[in-house]
Structure 1
Amino acid sequence: MCKCEKYVKNDVQLPVSTDLKKPRPKKAKHLRVRPPDLPILERSNWLIHLHYIRKDYETCKAIIKEQLHETQGMCEYAVYVQALIMRLEGKIQHSLELFQSCAILNPQSSDNLKQVARSLFLLAKHKAAIEVYNEAARLNQKDWEISHNLGVCYIYTKDFRSAEEQLNLALQLNKHDLTYMMLGKIHLLQGDTEKAIDVYKSAVEFSPENTELLTTLGLLYMQLGKHQKAFEHLGNSLTYHPNNFKAILAAGSMMQTHRDYDVAMNKYRVAAHSVPESPPLWNNIGMCFFRKKKYVAAISCLKRANYLSPFDWKILYNLGLVHLTIMQQYASAFQLLSAAINLQPRMSELYMLLAAKYHKNYYANSLK
């Protein structure tokens, strides 16, 4: 009995874990999935874009030519990039025709119309550009670039009210330094310096490190005689860009006005490294030497300024002043002052200096 029971116990088969014998799943083979074929019209767009942004224009034009041949001229992107390249090469009329073709292929694209208008603007066809920009604005009313360019076109057509409206609209859509600059220019063209200053102050608050805005604001304060504010903004401009020629020249001119000639000369020395052929720079250097009674150096600098800009009446005035007061060469002074009067006939100081010349040598003529 016991043996039997023992036999039965040995005969029982215990359940075996199936996890150990479960076959491992085979690794799936990586199958190469073929990408979907691009439409023939767009097959080479990526390659055209790649060579265009690399500025490899010759290769880009070759690919465009092949693409247009395959698509029978129906590839919009190829025509668009070809037009951009033509514009970069100075072939504005050809680029205009190509952009017009893009507008025909896709009349609902505001970008195509913007490029058509841009080419018209470069051809000085401002009224035609305004019409095309207005058409583009109907397709995309929230594009600041359209409003900005419309404002610029209106400036060239002397419609300052419409220009101001469009530039203000552009600023509402998106603020840009260039839009502020053009809006300030409108007020300056209208002779409203105070409004221009308000615009540039808003621009500086938006972009406090823009040296062009800071310099322009400083120059406007100089015109109004607010030298402290002018010097502050010019100093900020030089802080961000120490070699800013316009700011250096303006700051040196202010120091020269306050008879600080040595500091002004140091400023001009820095400016001469960046723009050595500037007529206003040599004119100011010459007058610094004149005030320091270094007359030979003064005449040399003024003659160089006159050589660089022979039709600048201020340089002619200063040369006439030097010839009259120091060299006492009355004939040369008369020629220089007469030339300055022909260029600026409404400047009373020129006539006063010419009368002083007559007073010194021809007293009777001065009475006439």
Structure 2
Amino acid sequence: MYEPGTEQINCNGRLIELPTLEVVRPAPKMPSDANIDWLLHIYFTRREFTRCRRLIERELNRHLNPEYLYFVQGLIDREEGNHIEALRHLQKSAELNPRNIETYKEIGRTLYIMGRFSQALGVFREAEQRSSRQDHEIYHYLGELLYRAATTQSQKEVASQQQDEARTYFELAVQSGRKLESYVRLAELYRKDKQYQKAIEVLENCLHLTPENSEVLIEISVLYLKINETQKAHDRLAEVVSIERKCSPKGLLAFGAILQSRNDVDGALSKYSQIANAEPEIAELWNNIGLCFFKKQKFIVAISSLRKSVWLSPLNYNALYNLSLIYIASEQYASAFHTLAAAINLRKDNAECFMLLGLCLRKLDDLENAFVALERASSMATGQQGAGRNPLVVLNFALFCYETGRLALSTEQYNRFMSQAQDLLLPTEYKFQATKLKSLLRISNQGNGILLDSADMGESDVGQNRSTELLPDELPLEVNAVVSQN
């Protein structure tokens, strides 16, 4: 019988001594040269920075290769906002192992966060040279830094070269990795170069990564509006509504532009009113609202809306151009002149601005300067090809030359108008004015097949009705103004 607390047991009347057993389980000792990088990595991924620091301090003096210790210490310092210490520790890690590309990438990221972009660019270029494989992160940051440098570059040629190089790196980033930011940046560069179709292709490929990304879908719809594909834009916006049930202000703005292009002014205004209640400080919103009221022939409200758009974004070319157009329609020629002067300062190569400026000066009885403006507009329009070609500029100059007695020059401009308009379907008003000028100049019919018989129309100014009839290969004015031109 066993009695608790004793070391003996009574068995059949005999006392038996129990053997004393000592079971010792000592804690396992880690050898001094053991690699604890795995433990440090676990602590870091859990964001247990205090344990990481304690482990680094303990192992730093006796560790045979403290490269990873310095590397993690630098990442922790950067997470805590101590960028200088982070840079110092990462540089120590790079000195211990110059072949580790990840260390160079983290040094470049730290310099990028610190705003030292030129040094970051140099680090990422060195990482590109040392890397034995294609690394989409290196390509992305190189493109990002070159694009930033191009936007701040004062020399136009250097900026253009840097932008082209940035686009090349973003293309490499898209080819070697699947990173959303690279797709978005590449599409932004294509859009800036007015290569809207390529931008759409890039964003469509981006949808394979994030099929329900509403921002990408809205951007695709806006780009479709840029190339006048309103139905495709509407389909993409419908997907956004089905995903979120509530469209963002940018999506509502695109919806309104589609309705404007279909002459549904009231429907567009209803969309814009939803944006105005949530985010009223959007320049493009008031630009489009002004154009809606312009179609309703409510000039005062249209001018007020466009003036607010200009106040919100003084360098918005579309708002300035549209405001000058409404000033001309409401016969406020002096105000139109000042607004056009501001627009021309932004776009010195726009023929339509000079055409409207010439019409304003003609109404202000400054015929000499009106001739100079219209002549310059005609020379610009003659050099344009493709979608940028607008025979209306040349026709207005021909009419002005006839009014001022320059018959030979008027005949020359009329012939130029005919050559430019051969393969275009012109609005009836253009045909009427051209037919009238042809009869006044007594030009024989060359059989171009453009000037068809038109119904009787009252005499009207071609320039003032610029927004009511548009060439089929030109974007409608409202769609042009959905977003500011970059």
Q: Is the 8 A contact 1:48 1:78 kept in 2?
A: no
How far is the alpha carbon of 1:95 from its aligned partner? Answer: 4.5
**Correspondences of 1:328-367 after superposition (within 5 Å):** 328-362=331-365, 364-365=367-368, 366-367=370-371
* 2:137 aligned to which of 129, 142, 145: 145
Is the counterpart of residue 251 in structure 1 residue 286 in structure 2? no
Instruction: Give the TM-score, by structure 2 length.
Output: 0.56
Q: Is the 8 A contact 1:243 1:271 kept in 2?
A: no
**Correspondences of 1:243-322 after superposition (within 5 Å):** 243-322=247-326
Give the % identical residues. 28
Alpha-carbon spacing, 1:354–1:30, altered in 2? closer, same or farther (3 Å): farther
Q: Is the 8 A contact 1:114 1:136 kept in 2?
A: no
Match of 1:116?
107
Match of 2:239?
236
**Correspondences of 1:196-235 after superposition (within 5 Å):** 196-235=199-238
Root mean square deviation of aligned Cα: 4.1
Give aligned pairs, total: 328
How far is the alpha carbon of 1:115 from its aligned partner? Answer: 1.0
The residue type equivalent to 2:237 in the other structure is L
* 1:81 aligned to which of 64, 76, 84: 76
Unaligned runs of 5+ in 1: 1-28, 55-59
Match of 1:18?
none
The residue type equivalent to 2:93 in the other structure is C
Q: Distance in 2 between matches of 1:321 and 1:166?
A: 42
The residue type equivalent to 2:348 in the other structure is P
Q: Distance in 2 between matches of 1:198 and 1:37?
A: 57
How far is the alpha carbon of 1:264 from its aligned partner? Answer: 0.9
Q: Distance in 2 between matches of 1:137 and 1:274?
A: 49
How far is the alpha carbon of 1:311 from its aligned partner? Answer: 2.1
Q: Distance in 1 between matches of 2:192 and 2:333?
A: 39
Is the counterpart of residue 103 in structure 1 residue 97 in structure 2? no
Q: Distance in 2 between matches of 1:47 and 1:320?
A: 64
Shifted more, 295-304 versus 170-179: the winner is 170-179
**Correspondences of 1:21-60 after superposition (within 5 Å):** 34=27, 49=44, 53=47
Q: Is the 8 A contact 2:286 2:305 kept in 1?
A: yes
Q: Distance in 2 between matches of 1:344 and 1:94?
A: 48
**Correspondences of 1:55-70 after superposition (within 5 Å):** none
How far is the alpha carbon of 1:116 from its aligned partner? Answer: 1.2
Q: Distance in 1 between matches of 2:272 and 2:32?
A: 62
Q: Distance in 2 between matches of 1:323 and 1:266?
A: 25
Q: Distance in 1 between matches of 2:181 and 2:23?
A: 54
Match of 1:131?
125
The SS at the match of 1:267 is: helix
Q: Is the 8 A contact 1:253 1:264 kept in 2?
A: yes
Q: Is the 8 A contact 2:40 2:55 kept in 1?
A: no
Match of 1:181?
184
Instruction: Give the TM-score, by structure 1 length.
Output: 0.71
How far is the alpha carbon of 1:284 from its aligned partner? Answer: 1.2
**Partner deviation per Cα, 1:90-129 (whole Å, 9 max, x = no partner):** x5x6644443233234545433211112234452226403
Q: Is the 8 A contact 1:184 1:197 kept in 2?
A: yes
The residue type equivalent to 2:349 in the other structure is R
| Greater share of helix | 1
Q: Distance in 1 between matches of 2:290 and 2:29?
A: 73
The residue type equivalent to 2:81 in the other structure is M
The residue type equivalent to 1:294 in the other structure is K
The residue type equivalent to 1:132 in the other structure is E
Q: Distance in 2 between matches of 1:102 and 1:273?
A: 54
The residue type equivalent to 2:116 in the other structure is L
Q: Is the 8 A contact 1:184 1:196 kept in 2?
A: yes
Q: Is the 8 A contact 1:86 1:94 kept in 2?
A: no
Q: Distance in 2 between matches of 1:329 and 1:168?
A: 49
Alpha-carbon spacing, 1:296–1:69, altered in 2? closer, same or farther (3 Å): farther
**Partner deviation per Cα, 1:59-110 (whole Å, 9 max, x = no partner):** x6999599669957x64222331034337xxx5x664444323323454543
Task: Considering Cα pairs closer than 8 Å and 6+ residues apart, tell me whether 1 or 2 has the greater RCO.
Answer: 2
